[in-house]
Amino acid sequence: MVMMSMAMVTAALFPVLIIIATLVLNKKMYSNFEKSTPFECGFDPHNSARIPFSLRFFILAVLFLVFDIEIALLMPIPTMLNMNSMIKAVIIMFCLILIMGLYHEWNESSLEWK
């Protein structure tokens, strides 16, 4: 139990330390309008450099990534089923949350491509 709590503290502390180190070591970046504009052989750009993309495609791609990671988390479940009842309850809750999320996305029609 102590080993598991130490692992949880380490897992929570490590990302916080990385974020703090990034903030401390990061140079302050000043944005310059002329440096951020597109350059086309010294002339003003003919078209916009930003290509618009579909927001629905972006949301669908993010949902795909989320469900892909969730499936990767579900892969070791058959090996964990012979453990104690607390782990089984956590697995059931995790699966219920996944099903509720999928139902919400389906109800919201975020999974339909139009």
How far is residue 71's CA from residue 81's CA, in Å, rounded to a whole number? 16
Residues 77 and 91: beta-carbon distance below 8 Å: yes
Reported as half-sphere exposure (CB side, CA atoms, 13 A), residue 105 has a value of 19
How high is the pLDDT of residue 13?
Answer: 93
Mean pLDDT in order along the chain per 10 residues (114 residues): 87 91 75 65 63 76 84 80 78 86 84 70
Residues 60 and 113: beta-carbon distance below 8 Å: yes
Predicted TM-score (pTM) of this structure: 0.44
Domain with residues 2-107, CATH architecture: Up-down Bundle (1.20)
Q: Is 40 helix (H, G, I), strand (E, B) or coil?
A: strand
Q: Could you state, in order of their start, the residue ranges of all structural domains in the chain?
A: 2-107
How high is the pLDDT of residue 49?
Answer: 60
How high is the pLDDT of residue 35?
Answer: 66
